[in-house]
Amino acid sequence: MDKKAMYKIGYGLYLVTTHINDVDNGCIVNSVTQVTSEPQCIQVTLLKSDYTCELIQKSKKLNLSIFDESVPFEYFMLFGMKSGRTTNKFDGFSDVARSQNGIYYSTSHTNALICANVINEIDFGTHIMFICDIEDMMVFNSNPSVTYAYYQAHIKPAPKPVAPNSEKWVCTICGYVYDNAVEKIPFEQLPETWVCPLCNHPKSVFEKAGN
């Protein structure tokens, strides 16, 4: 079975935000689809461990900012590679406004906004799928929406080449290099719960240098 068949499914990239009890948070997701058109209904799926997921379970509402192709890598570093449990992602971030539901949305590099209310949630063990009806929608420009393939080809910086080395492991998401020669614990012995110190992605996204 070739698991890479999954990579052939197309995805968009979105900022999902929510707000509850004076707390704002948001994260980047690729798992959003329209479920029905009459009435209009979408699904948004988040990792259970994401702080945004926990907050949406309480607030029952979210905003979906649909990024266009001009979105810079810094947005992904800020909203996709940090946790809102330890950082206020909106501190010093000026490209936001609140929609009528009180939730932030991105005002730059964003071609549309969908304000949605959770009407159902499905627990998939690791993830929660939120089924949402629509409260409001706005279109800001006609720029093409960014896709995951476009992000990989044009937005994500190319990782610096690392010469083949069986002692070095490279994060395929952000390019971080784990060097067994300088670390106390060899990469192979790190627990499965270990995450990349730069982008927080799991051990499974690392590859041996030069592969």
Q: How far is CA 49 from the centre of its chain?
A: 13
- What end-to-end distance do the CA atoms of the chain give, in Å? 20
Minimum CB–partner distance for residue 199 and Fe ion (Å): 3
With contacts defined by CB under 5 A, how many residues of the chain interact with Fe ion? 7
Between CA 10 and CA 197, with CA 62 as vertex, the angle to 5 degrees is 65
Minimum CB–partner distance for residue 80 and Fe ion (Å): 11
The only residue of 44, 113, 128, 174 in contact with Fe ion, by rule CB under 5 A? 174
> Does residue number 162 form part of the binding site for Fe ion (CB under 5 A)?
no
Q: In which residue are the tokens 């044009």 written?
A: 154
Query: Which one of the spans 56-64, 84-92, 139-147, 196-204 is the region binding Fe ion (CB under 5 A)?
Result: 196-204
> Does residue number 129 form part of the binding site for Fe ion (CB under 5 A)?
no
> Does residue number 170 form part of the binding site for Fe ion (CB under 5 A)?
no
Query: Which one of the spans 23-31, 114-122, 154-162, 167-175 is the region binding Fe ion (CB under 5 A)?
Result: 167-175
Minimum CB–partner distance for residue 175 and Fe ion (Å): 7
> Does residue number 140 form part of the binding site for Fe ion (CB under 5 A)?
no
Q: How far is CA 52 from the centre of its chain?
A: 10
Minimum CB–partner distance for residue 177 and Fe ion (Å): 10
**Whether the Cβ atoms of residue 198 and residue 171 lie closer than 8 Å to each other:** yes
Complex with Fe ion: residue 61 or 80, whichever CB lies closer: 80
CA distance 171 to 60: 34
Between CA 112 and CA 23, with CA 54 as vertex, the angle to 5 degrees is 70
Query: Which one of the spans 43-51, 115-123, 138-146, 189-197 is the region binding Fe ion (CB under 5 A)?
Result: 189-197
Pairing of strands 127-139, 40-47: antiparallel
Minimum CB–partner distance for residue 197 and Fe ion (Å): 8
CA distance 117 to 144: 26
